Every structure is written in structure tokens, then in C-alpha cells.
């Protein structure tokens, strides 16, 4: 179990300041100290801010990110909800492997591949589970 749970701000350098307008928007959207990945991305789009800035602000405010759109975390006691795909189409596997950096697929690249193939984001994370490929880093900085 992670010992820094609930201390998300610790992963950022001291002295980095929070954009107050982003903080205000996120505090209004959050419920019980939590905000879904989809809501965080919606806020980033509406505020014209990068997902990284929104993620930093969530961390600084100690707001827990939930319901990862790739299905990797934030879904109750099981944490992640994705399971390994039974099969991965050859072209999809090629695209995933081509997108690897340091043997990992970034969240952003996973989203791009999902768009390219016209499938849901969790289809790509399920393919990665089957291929034993980790997805990292998260666009919001959660992992």
C-alpha cells in the first residue's frame, strides 16, 4: 500500500504555485475531495489549461483523482476495472509497440491509438494488459 496516499502535493517540487482560477474551478467540481478523470479533462478544456496543470492543482489541493478513463485506477475496492484482452489485433499491437518509450505506453499515446482505431480507451489498456505493457505517464500526473 502506498504510504503517501492522501499526500499528493508531496510529489511536486516545493514552491510551485497554484493557479487560483484553476483551483476554484476544480474545487467547485469536486465532490467529497474527489474528481473523476473525465471531469478533470473537461475542466482542462474549458479553462484552456494543460491536463498536467490541472493534475498538479488537484494534487496541491489534495483532491483525489478517480475513474481513470483507461480503467487503471479509482474504481472502488478493485482499483482498476480493465482485464486483459483475449486477443489483440496485429495492427493494434504494432501501433502500441511503435508508441512505446522506455517500454511503456503513455496515457496520451494510448488515447491517440484508441482514436486511430475507433475504439474506446479501455480497449487499448486491455490490449496493453494482454501484452504485459505498462501505461505511464498519466496526462494528469496520477501515475
Q: How far is CA 102 from the centre of its chain?
A: 18
Confidence band (pLDDT; 50, 70, 90) for 23?
very high
Average pLDDT (119-131) is 98
Q: Which is more confidently placed, 100 or 4?
A: 100
CA angle 109, 136, 19 (to 5 degrees): 90
Confidence band (pLDDT; 50, 70, 90) for 5?
low
Q: What is the pLDDT of residue 4?
A: 47
User: Mean pLDDT of all residues in the chain?
Assistant: 92
Amino acid at each position: 500500500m502506498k504510504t503517501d496516499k492522501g499526500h499528493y502535493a508531496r510529489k511536486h517540487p516545493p514552491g510551485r504555485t497554484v493557479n487560483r482560477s484553476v483551483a476554484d474551478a476544480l474545487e467547485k467540481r469536486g465532490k467529497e475531495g474527489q474528481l473523476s478523470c473525465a471531469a478533470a479533462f473537461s475542466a482542462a478544456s474549458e479553462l484552456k489549461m494543460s491536463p498536467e496543470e490541472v493534475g498538479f492543482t488537484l494534487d496541491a489541493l489534495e483532491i483525489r483523482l478517480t475513474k481513470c478513463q483507461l480503467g487503471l485506477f479509482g474504481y472502488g475496492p478493485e482499483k482498476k476495472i480493465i482485464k486483459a484482452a483475449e486477443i489483440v489485433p496485429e495492427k493494434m499491437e504494432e501501433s502500441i509497440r511503435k508508441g512505446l518509450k522506455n517500454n511503456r505506453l503513455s496515457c496520451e499515446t494510448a488515447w491517440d491509438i484508441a482514436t486511430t482505431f475507433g475504439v474506446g480507451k479501455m480497449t487499448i489498456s486491455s490490449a496493453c494488459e494482454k501484452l504485459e505493457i505498462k501505461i505511464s505517464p498519466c496526462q494528469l500526473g496520477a501515475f
